[in-house]
Chain A
Amino acid sequence: MSDLTLFTTSLRDLVRPKKMLTLVLLLLLSTGVAALWRYNTAGYGPEKSVEIYNSLATLMIYSFLLVLLTITFGTSIISTETEQKTIVYLLTRPVPRWRILLTKFAAVVLVTTVTTYLAIFLLALITYGPSELGNSGLGRDLEILPIGVLAYGGISLLLAVLLNRPLIFGLLFAFGWETWVPSLPGSFGRLSVMTYLRVLAPHKTAAEIAAEAAAAANPFAAAPDVITHPMAWTVLAATIAVSVLAALVVFSTREYVPREDAA
């Protein structure tokens, strides 16, 4: 009963009119770009649909919408309660702290997953059209997106319980670390969550496929750093488990008192 009440309350807070408007605008952004691109390439073959879908799925959905929503909502789980000083009410109820955190995290995961699902579905619908949806990569993305939400959500959760201003660090991580590290040479890419998500949901463009083929044909090129699917699954699962468990432990043992009220 208490978990359900907290879950619905958290859910309702996440879809408040202002936040809902932001979600809709973000959805319309990716959908609008897809529609515009599709309109400008009308008459091209199905390979154009693949290119549009893969490019926008990578850029707009995985690297932008998924990361932005998860980091924003995830890092606000505790900071919102602390800033509006309502955390006192939650922490003085007979509910274990880990359950409070996990329930609020579940609400964030649900809202973010549903939003990214809608975004990827609309993207696939516009680029492929209703009749070709089955031939798109939609099914694979519907499988991988929640994993991305959980991975970034777990990291956000850990930042939320550790830091006073987790959003700033979360955005630096999302749009700094996660943007540049995968592009670094050698094995640095293995330090990024996005690298593993891209292994599971490649979304390769024609140019990328051609570059890979050229590199494979070059006997003097360094051996590519290959990450297998099982390895990607393992690393992502470990990231989720470690970050969420660490967040639960920290939240259960740390003092959370609204700052102005601390002394």
Chain B
Amino acid sequence: MTATNVTPPQLPPMPLPGAAPHVNDNVTPYGAGMITLERASRWYKQVIGVNDVSCRIGPGITALLGPNGAGKSTMLKMITGQLRPTTGRVHVFGMPPFANPKVYRKLGYCPEIESNYPDMTGREFVTMLAAMAGLPSATLKARVDETIALVGMSHACDRKMDGYSKGMRQRIKVAQGIVHDPEVLILDEPFNGLDPVGRREMQNVLNAMGNQGKCVVISSHILYEVEQMTRNILLMSNGRLMAQGDIYHIRSLIDSHPHHIRIATTDPRGLAKRLLDLPYVLSVRLDQMEATSVEIETRAPELFYAQFPDLILEHGLVVSSFESPDNNLEAVFKYLVNG
């Protein structure tokens, strides 16, 4: 028997048929949530920004995804109480957030806007907003220092923000959002302007908050970065909530689109032949460039994942890796937004 080297897929397999669908409690229409939207709509005169959105968002990281103009920022503005819903309701901790200090005590917000107070230093900016957030003066300085260090801005926090790079402004914006240790943190495009190291550091900070049970909502268009942080998504398009919940569960529900699975092997032709014998495999394509991989299309990915190990063991095939390009956020995003 040939030694088989099977690399686990990049992403966990989808649920088997018949199994209870896994929908994460983080984003669910009817579960408990720190943030609740009930049929919330927001109009800008004749233009609708958010259209009849209902969802509840609980602890952990949730990604709010959608193309430009999808209504993400409007939704975040309603959650952060800058805008009122035209119809429907938005609640944070059971309270309407608009101009509500009780909500803001538990809420941190990192807006997408670039602007800051140009004459202030980063430290002054964070200190002012920390004081406004109600941090006691006895612990204010220590907490500000700690937060500035956490976002990696200790070296530049005493410089005027006017001279900050985009990445620095982004970091200091996140610092003001988390300085009061909020229960709910809303971030609008927090990775804009950050270099790869900065993104990684920011991801770590946000992951830590999510792991502490805080509700972290991240609006982003950089899908692969969000994908590294969470499986829970809210996907918006044209003001509507197109999908919500666990990304893999959402993908599994999209039956109209065959799933693609790419398998790297030392014997692509042999593997292709075996795969074509499987009734649920719709097509098999050999990669002409690499000549070491095979890509299949199937409408029953769960069945495929279940039977594939037996298949390679039975025929002594060497598989170095397999992955499903369909299972990433971008693919799901395209399916749902573009149809």
Which size bracket describes the interface of B in this complex? 35 or more
- The segment out of B12-20, B112-120, B330-338 that lies at the interface is B112-120
B111 is an interface residue with CB less than 8 A from chain A: yes
Alpha-carbon distance A13/B125, docked complex (angstroms): 13
Q: Cβ of B83 and Cβ of A93 under 8 Å apart?
A: no
Q: Cβ of A257 and Cβ of B77 under 8 Å apart?
A: yes
B24–chain A nearest beta-carbon distance, Å: 27
- How many A-B pairs have beta carbons closer than 8 Å: the answer is 92
B262 is an interface residue with CB less than 8 A from chain A: no
B80 is an interface residue with CB less than 8 A from chain A: yes
Q: Cβ of B112 and Cβ of A261 under 8 Å apart?
A: yes
A80–chain B nearest beta-carbon distance, Å: 10
A164–chain B nearest beta-carbon distance, Å: 15
Contact of B105 among A1, A6, A12, A94 (CB under 8 A): A94
Contact of A94 among B111, B112, B128, B134 (CB under 8 A): B134
Given contacts A5-B127, A91-B82, A252-B99, contact A258 B133 (CB under 8 A): no
Complex contacts, A94 vs chain B, CB 8 Å: 101-105, 132-134
B74 is an interface residue with CB less than 8 A from chain A: yes
Q: Cβ of A84 and Cβ of B117 under 8 Å apart?
A: yes
B48–chain A nearest beta-carbon distance, Å: 11
Q: Cβ of B99 and Cβ of A261 under 8 Å apart?
A: no
A209 is an interface residue with CB less than 8 A from chain B: no
A218 is an interface residue with CB less than 8 A from chain B: no
A262 is an interface residue with CB less than 8 A from chain B: yes
Which chain B residues numbered 282 to 334 have a C-beta less than 8 Å away from chain A? none
Complex contacts, B104 vs chain A, CB 8 Å: 92-95
A234 is an interface residue with CB less than 8 A from chain B: no
A24 is an interface residue with CB less than 8 A from chain B: no
B205 is an interface residue with CB less than 8 A from chain A: no
Alpha-carbon distance A13/B83, docked complex (angstroms): 27
Alpha-carbon distance A90/B128, docked complex (angstroms): 10
A15–chain B nearest beta-carbon distance, Å: 11
B156 is an interface residue with CB less than 8 A from chain A: no
Chain A window 234-263, contacts with chain B (Cβ cutoff 8 Å), 1 for yes, 0 for no: 000000000000000000110111100111
Given contacts A1-B131, A96-B101, contact A261 B113 (CB under 8 A): yes
Alpha-carbon distance A258/B176, docked complex (angstroms): 19
B46 is an interface residue with CB less than 8 A from chain A: no
Contact of B109 among A9, A85, A92 (CB under 8 A): A92
Which chain A residues numbered 168 to 215 have a C-beta less than 8 Å away from chain B? none
Alpha-carbon distance A12/B131, docked complex (angstroms): 16
A93–chain B nearest beta-carbon distance, Å: 4
Q: Cβ of A93 and Cβ of B113 under 8 Å apart?
A: no
Q: Cβ of A258 and Cβ of B102 under 8 Å apart?
A: no
Complex contacts, A256 vs chain B, CB 8 Å: 82
B234–chain A nearest beta-carbon distance, Å: 19
Contact of A2 among B116, B119, B132 (CB under 8 A): B132
Contact of B115 among A9, A84, A97 (CB under 8 A): A84
Complex contacts, A253 vs chain B, CB 8 Å: 99
Alpha-carbon distance A263/B83, docked complex (angstroms): 11
B173–chain A nearest beta-carbon distance, Å: 9
Which chain A residues numbered 77 to 127 have a C-beta less than 8 Å away from chain B? 84-86, 88-97
Complex contacts, B133 vs chain A, CB 8 Å: 2, 93-94
Alpha-carbon distance A89/B236, docked complex (angstroms): 25
Residue of A nearest to B108 (CB): A92
B256 is an interface residue with CB less than 8 A from chain A: no
Q: Cβ of B83 and Cβ of A255 under 8 Å apart?
A: yes
Q: Cβ of B73 and Cβ of A6 under 8 Å apart?
A: no
Complex contacts, B73 vs chain A, CB 8 Å: 261
Complex contacts, B102 vs chain A, CB 8 Å: 94
A253–chain B nearest beta-carbon distance, Å: 7
Q: Cβ of B80 and Cβ of A92 under 8 Å apart?
A: yes
Q: Cβ of A86 and Cβ of B47 under 8 Å apart?
A: no
Contact of A85 among B99, B115, B120, B124 (CB under 8 A): B115
Q: Cβ of B82 and Cβ of A255 under 8 Å apart?
A: yes
Q: Enumerate 9 A-B pairs (CB-CB under 8 Å) in ascending A order.
A: A1-B137, A5-B131, A6-B131, A86-B115, A94-B101, A96-B101, A256-B82, A258-B113, A261-B111
**Top 10 A-B pairs, shortest CB-CB distance:** A5-B131, A94-B101, A93-B132, A94-B104, A85-B115, A94-B105, A2-B132, A85-B113, A92-B109, A84-B115
List residues of A whose CB falls within 8 A of some B CB.
1-2, 4-6, 9, 12-13, 16, 84-86, 88-97, 252-253, 255-258, 261-263
